[in-house]
Amino acid sequence: MGGMWIVITIPCVIIGAVIVAYIIGQNRKSNGTDRINEILKEVEAKGLHISQHHISFNVRSCLAFDEENKKFCFIYGDPVSMGYNVKIVDYKDILESEIIEDNVQVMKTSRSSQIGGALAGGALAGGVGAIIGGLSGKQTTSNNKTRKLDLKVTIADTRNPVINFSLLNLPGEGISKHSSIYETEIKSAQHWHGLISVAIREAENENILPIREGDNKISVAEELTKLSVLLKDGLITREEFDTQKQKIMSQ
């Protein structure tokens, strides 16, 4: 009889532990969601007009978008300790966006990729400051399951230049890519990556200023300096450098 009780008791204890863990997890998610919603109300009270937002499945991060004022609000932290960081960023201060799945880069958009892609396609209008090109991206294939999904954003902030948004962070082998949870989070990652990519493009285009006749000498010097930086960083070839230099000098 003693052996029988052990056989019955052990599964019951395991099931009970799983239920308790689930309840605790749900409570943490609920508390984290409540806290993030409070933060959203606080930033709106300070003048941010949020047109859309997304809270991640694991409640570790939230992305909010203010289209009217051209700003993003990034909220990230730990739902267990309830410690969240809040960062409001202008379009012009966003340098790069990446989708990273199981530590593998799936897609990337950056100002440098815009410049490189524009030069490769010959899409130059005027000087270096007037480079107009499509946002380049990189995609890779992976397994049928996923443990981690992150959106990594690099901004112009020397103290905290990288913000990592954890959308999924699961134990074990993770979840199937056919699951509703994965599909929801990957679509959200792609959606927000797209919004940030558009912001990068708009910020680049806003920096395109016409060259006034009186400022021509200064502008030419600035354009040549920018062109030299591109060559030094390996974003253009020597042949491309010489070609664009000739165009700038002939202005």
* Spatial distance between the Cα atoms of 50 and 172, rounded to a whole number of angstroms: 36
Q: Are residues 228 and 195 in the same domain?
A: no
Look at the pTM and tell me if it is higher than 0.85: no
pLDDT for the residue 205: 72
Cβ(111)–Cβ(63) below 8 Å = no
> Cα–Cα distances in Å, from 118 out to 132, 150, 160?
6, 27, 29
Q: Over the stretch 200-226, which tens digit does the pLDDT of each residue have?
A: 888 877 764 444 444 454 466 677 777
- The CB-side HSE value for 141 (13 A sphere, CA atoms) comes to 1
Residues 112 and 68 in one domain: yes
Q: Is there a single domain that holds both residue 90 and residue 37?
A: yes
Rounded Cα distance between 224 and 230, Å, is 10
CA dist., res. 236 & res. 220, Å (int): 18
Residues 135 and 245 in one domain: no
- The CA distances from residue 191 to 28, 30, 60, 160, in Å, are 26, 24, 18, 24
Taking residue 116's Cβ as centre, other Cβ atoms within 10 Å add up to 19
Euclidean distance between CA atoms 181 and 22, whole angstroms: 16
> Look-up: residue for tokens 């040549």?
224
Residues 239 and 202 grouped into a single domain? no
- Mark the ranges of the chain whose per-residue pLDDT is less than 50: 1, 12-13, 16-28, 113-141, 208-215, 217-218
Residues 15 and 49 in one domain: yes
* Beta sheet of 94-101, edge-to-edge order: 104-110, 94-101, 148-155, 162-169
Q: Are residues 202 and 243 in the same domain?
A: no
Q: Are 50 and 40 in contact (CB under 8 A)?
A: yes
Claim to verify: residue 122 and residue 50 sit in the same structural domain: yes
Range of the domain at 90: 2-208
Instruction: Tell me the per-residue pLDDT of 93-120, one tens digit each, with 9 for 90 and over.
Output: 998 999 999 999 999 888 754 444 444 3
For 20, 29, 50, 56, 209, the CA distances from 88, given in Å and listed in that order, are 37, 23, 11, 18, 26
Q: Do 115 and 6 fall into the same domain? A: yes
Residues 137 and 17 both lie in one domain: yes
Same domain, 120 and 239: no
Same domain assignment for residues 44 and 162: yes
**CA-CA distances (angstroms) from residue 190 to 118, 193, 195?**
23, 5, 9
Our count of domains for the chain comes to: 2
Residue 4: the pLDDT is 54
| Type of residue numbered 213 | E
